[in-house]
Chains A and B, each alone.
Chain A
Amino acid sequence: MTFHRRTFLGATAASLAAPMVMGQGSPRVVVIGGGAGGATAARYVAKDSKGAIDVTLIEPSRSYYTCFFSNLYIGGFRELSSLAHSYGTLAADYGVNVVHDWAIGIDRDAKTVSLAGGGQVPYDRLILSPGIDFVDGSVPGWSLAAQNAMPHAYKGGSQTELLKAQVEAMPQGGVFAMIAPPNPYRCPPGPYERVSMVAHKLKAENPTAKILIVDPKEKYSKQALFEEGWQAHYGGMIERIGPDFGGASVEVRPDAMEVVIDGEVEKVDVCNVIPAMKAGRICDLAGVSEGNWAPVVPATMQARADDNIHVLGDATSQGDMPKSGFSANSQAKVAAMAVRGALTGSKVFPARFSNTCWSLIDSDDGVKVGATYEATEEKISKVDGFISQRGEDADLRKATYEESLGWYAGITADMFG
């Protein structure tokens, strides 16, 4: 069943203190996208306004599969079902009106959102948290039409499942290729954690298989840690071709299962193409993008183009924060506070942000990188940070992995209630 705000209000509105309301009726917040940014924002606005703000969350999927931890599913450390979350608690316990539909247009003058299923949803503040889309043509030969032959698996759910199935179907001694993305992209260590997880699986099931990373970047996140771990756990299995050796000059042929690197044709068995990324399309439709991303005001996450729209997470260009679920969750709390302040006059405190990214290299071998940030006028600036060290002992690496499991439980509870 679906939950509707009406039933929630009928049950509990009478017991709430009289809310401070501007004008007639409650102010309306509409959130587009129910991931780490959007679900968190919807929950915090609803929770902290205690019924004074009418919150609608527009999200096409009834079951949300987190992209974070999807690599652990590929490696066999998680069940896919453990990555699925519903919006039932947000609706039932927090009174969020959850609409399972696509937002297909935004009228910034009328302040309404159009839905694919028909109808308009009016807002006083709009929060966009659409995640990423892919840049057309960024990997020659690849398009969304080829995503079944060469999956991106960079959005949670069926693509992740497909990629895992393809790894399992590889012939003995076959080749798994990854076309790594250029900066900036969602989850900087993500492609390399994925390689680790594929290697973990192949080591057990297909030990003569090879992994080939074709990478347009000189350097990548946690590089020293991954390289140390790959050497220790998967010696000889993984080869990375950086830009000096043609990593930035690649073409794929999905029909022939070929990868052409700097003119050299490689036959591969699985090809994970992670294209260049840009903000989810609704940012373009709303007119808040500049180039590939939506610039925001750091202190409030308001779009530079429109004070009534806030943008969160991967879709933004904001400064130093990496595009991650943790970052989006952190930004959502700042935006929720700013939105409540604007609509109900509640107190607004200086924005502060943080992020930590855990990655799993092999069983019980977890590493992490994290930082704190704050809002300056220009951008969100990194203040302090840390990263796991090479050569850490096994107990610490195991504790780091276990901590990541705790974080997963924590952030998903923080998102979905």
Chain B
Amino acid sequence: MMSGGISGLAGLAVGILASALLAGGKLAANEIGDADRGRDVFRACAPCHQVGADATNRVGPQLNGIFGRKAASVDTYVYSKSLARAGSDGLIWDLVRLDAYLENPKALVSGTRMNFRGLKDKQDRDDVLAYLRLFSDDPANIPEAQPTARPAEVDLPPEILALVGDPDYGEYLGSECQTCHQGDGSDAGIPAITGWPDEDFVVAMHAYKQKVRPHPVMQMMAGRLSDEEIAALAAYFGGLE
């Protein structure tokens, strides 16, 4: 059942990249969407779903805290068997899955009772998701709460990409590493990263980026570095000793 949904998600990811690059305008490219506009889009959902301080279950469950929630987990609401099973299978409502569900509910959860043809317009989905995001946990209070922005890697502005091999950029990027990795090469608890051959450094960082090397902090940190940025870091730390 889930495989159809997941292959649909791969196509969807490409869609996200394209629209993020094209969006421009008043929104920064990395925000989910325009929450103000999303409030209007939500009118299509409001006959069945509520959000906000007094939200209760209606035809559909209330949607407070939907981001990061396990599917079919509002205990006071009776779900379809399909959605309940998706929850048991581990479906968590993150941005990508909510987006897929809103685009075509039955493509993600075949037997869902949500009789809604889907929001085909990408901008509508982005905006309504930005609106719904306002009613879920705030990462400032609960750091593990779901992101409020899309990953930045794909929308690096051209002027950054032009800064290939800039040692100053390597030094700035490297300042982020030095909250944990010490510039003097100490390696208690956290490995030293100074004085490595460039190639070893680059290979290691790409291995984290591709999640081949296991370490959640490093996977996350490397995950948003471009090739040029990894090269700049390698050059910077390679020169320290």
User: A315-335: contact bitstring with B at CB < 8 Å (1 yes, 0 no)?
Assistant: 000011111001001100100
A221 to B184, CA, bound (A): 33
Give every chain B residue within 8 A of A337 (Cβ-Cβ): 172
* Contact indicator B217/A406 (Cβ below 8 Å): no
Which of A320, A350, A369, A384 interacts with B223 by CB under 8 Å?
A384
Give every chain B residue within 8 A of A379 (Cβ-Cβ): 148
Q: A374-B152, A379-B148 given. 15 additional CB < 8 A pairs?
A: A320-B139, A322-B141, A333-B172, A333-B175, A369-B143, A372-B221, A376-B31, A378-B31, A381-B149, A384-B151, A385-B144, A410-B178, A410-B181, A411-B179, A413-B184
Smallest CB-CB separation from B144: which chain A residue? A387
A371 at interface by CB-CB < 8 Å? yes
A119 to B140, CA, bound (A): 38
* Contact indicator B217/A356 (Cβ below 8 Å): yes
B14 at interface by CB-CB < 8 Å? no
CB proximity of B98 to chain A, nearest CB, Å:
16
User: B145-187: contact bitstring with A at CB < 8 Å (1 yes, 0 no)?
Assistant: 1111111100001001001001011011101101111111011
Known A-B contacts A222-B144, A320-B140, A329-B179; A382 and B188 likewise in contact (beta carbons under 8 Å): no
Smallest CB-CB separation from A221: which chain B residue? B142
* Contact indicator B140/A321 (Cβ below 8 Å): yes
B residues whose Cβ falls under 8 Å from a Cβ of A = 26-28, 30-31, 137-152, 157, 160, 163, 166, 168-169, 171-173, 175-176, 178-184, 186-190, 216-217, 219-221, 223-224
* Contact indicator A411/B150 (Cβ below 8 Å): no
* Contact indicator A382/B179 (Cβ below 8 Å): no
Which of A221, A349, A402 interacts with B143 by CB under 8 Å?
A221
Known A-B contacts A368-B217, A378-B31; A405 and B143 likewise in contact (beta carbons under 8 Å): no
A49 at interface by CB-CB < 8 Å? no
* Contact indicator A385/B188 (Cβ below 8 Å): no
* Contact indicator A349/B142 (Cβ below 8 Å): no
Which of A220, A323, A406 interacts with B142 by CB under 8 Å?
A220
Give every chain A residue within 8 A of B142 (Cβ-Cβ): 188, 219-221
* Contact indicator B145/A377 (Cβ below 8 Å): no
* Contact indicator B190/A320 (Cβ below 8 Å): no
Q: Which of B143, B169, B183, B221 has the most CB of A within 10 A?
A: B143
* Contact indicator A386/B216 (Cβ below 8 Å): yes
A350 to B140, CA, bound (A): 21
* Contact indicator B180/A385 (Cβ below 8 Å): no
Give every chain B residue within 8 A of A371 (Cβ-Cβ): 139, 143, 147, 220
* Contact indicator B224/A323 (Cβ below 8 Å): no
Smallest CB-CB separation from A402: which chain B residue? B189
* Contact indicator B217/A385 (Cβ below 8 Å): no
A262 at interface by CB-CB < 8 Å? no
* Contact indicator B147/A407 (Cβ below 8 Å): no
Q: Which of B188, B190, B224 has the most CB of A within 10 A?
A: B190
* Contact indicator B150/A383 (Cβ below 8 Å): yes
* Contact indicator A376/B143 (Cβ below 8 Å): no
* Contact indicator B184/A383 (Cβ below 8 Å): no
A259 at interface by CB-CB < 8 Å? no
A347 to B159, CA, bound (A): 12
Give every chain A residue within 8 A of B181 (Cβ-Cβ): 410
- List 30 interface pairs A-B (beta carbons < 8 Å), by A numbering: A183-B141, A188-B142, A221-B144, A320-B148, A347-B166, A347-B168, A347-B169, A349-B163, A349-B169, A349-B173, A354-B221, A369-B144, A372-B220, A374-B30, A377-B28, A379-B148, A382-B145, A382-B148, A383-B149, A384-B147, A384-B151, A386-B216, A386-B219, A405-B189, A406-B188, A409-B182, A409-B189, A410-B181, A410-B182, A411-B180
Give every chain B residue within 8 A of A307 (Cβ-Cβ): none
* Contact indicator A320/B138 (Cβ below 8 Å): yes
A69 at interface by CB-CB < 8 Å? no
A403 to B187, CA, bound (A): 10
Give every chain B residue within 8 A of A384 (Cβ-Cβ): 147, 151, 220, 223-224
* Contact indicator B224/A322 (Cβ below 8 Å): no
A381 to B171, CA, bound (A): 23
Give every chain A residue within 8 A of B27 (Cβ-Cβ): 376
Smallest CB-CB separation from B225: which chain A residue? A352
* Contact indicator A413/B182 (Cβ below 8 Å): yes
Which of B163, B176, B183, B220 interacts with A330 by CB under 8 Å?
B176
Give every chain A residue within 8 A of B141 (Cβ-Cβ): 183-184, 188, 221, 322
A357 at interface by CB-CB < 8 Å? yes
Known A-B contacts A320-B140, A372-B224; A382 and B147 likewise in contact (beta carbons under 8 Å): yes
A291 to B178, CA, bound (A): 34
* Contact indicator A352/B139 (Cβ below 8 Å): no
A370 at interface by CB-CB < 8 Å? yes
A272 at interface by CB-CB < 8 Å? no
A70 at interface by CB-CB < 8 Å? no
* Contact indicator A352/B189 (Cβ below 8 Å): no
A355 at interface by CB-CB < 8 Å? yes
Q: Which of B142, B176, B181, B223 has the most CB of A within 10 A?
A: B142
A65 at interface by CB-CB < 8 Å? no
Q: Which of B166, B172, B179, B216 has the most CB of A within 10 A?
A: B179
Give every chain B residue within 8 A of A323 (Cβ-Cβ): 140
A44 at interface by CB-CB < 8 Å? yes
